[in-house]
Amino acid sequence: MNKVAVRIGFDQHIVAVAAPDYSKPQRKPRTPNDLMERTCVNLRLPTPNVREGYTLRSSRGSPAS
């Protein structure tokens, strides 16, 4: 049996944002790794028992570090 995959959706782009006062007590994060030490809101989808990972990328599309 032959199987064919057909795309039925579109790419989703997620943007990380912060309120202006968020970084006042500390220095502004300069790299994605700087966020590891911060309290952040995480992405949670309604799918039970599934956690989605994501990769932060530069404006050129390469993985950010």
Q: Which domain holds residue 60?
A: 29-65
CA pair distance 46, 51, nearest whole angstrom? 10
Is pLDDT at 59 greater than 70 in this prediction? Answer: yes
* 4 lies in some domain: no
pTM metric for this prediction: 0.42
Provide the sign of the torsion angle of the four alpha carbons 55, 42, 27, 19, taken in this order.
positive
* 6 lies in some domain: no
Number of domains present in the structure of the chain: 1
As a whole number, the mean pLDDT across the chain is: 76
* 8 lies in some domain: no
- Write down the pLDDT at residue 20: 80
- Write down the pLDDT at residue 45: 65
Q: Render pLDDT for 20-49 as a digit per residue (tens, 0 to 9).
A: 887 677 777 778 778 777 777 666 666 777
* 40 lies in some domain: yes
